[in-house]
Amino acid sequence: MSPQRGRDHDRGDGRRPEGEGEGEGEGERQEELPETITLRVAGGASITLDADGITLDNGKGAVVTMRGPVVEVNNGALEVT
């Protein structure tokens, strides 16, 4: 799966896509952001970002979760506060 360019990305040459320059139109454009973003690779590893925190999963059992001031490793096997 290849990444897709979002509306806020440049064209790779440092220029923004036509019609999407700064200060155009009336007021600032505000886009709806997703509640959760997950990046996953074929081997099963993933990174998940949401309002609660960040989860790193290698797809083989190792998981690191960061939520608020707590870092949890392998579903509670080690917890740092």
Q: Please, what is the Cα angle at 10 between 31 and 41, to 5 degrees?
A: 80
pLDDT, average across residues 40-58: 96
CB 55 within 8 A of CB 61: no
What integer pLDDT is reported at residue 81 of this predicted model? 84
Mean pLDDT for 51-70 is: 96
**Domain spans in the chain, listed from the N-terminal domain onward:** 36-80
Residue 70 has pLDDT above 90, yes or no: yes
Q: How confident is the model at residue 50 (pLDDT cuts 50, 70, 90)?
A: very high
pLDDT tens across 5-48, in order?
444 444 455 555 555 555 555 677 888 888 999 999 999 999 99
Cβ atoms 75, 62 nearer than 8 A: no
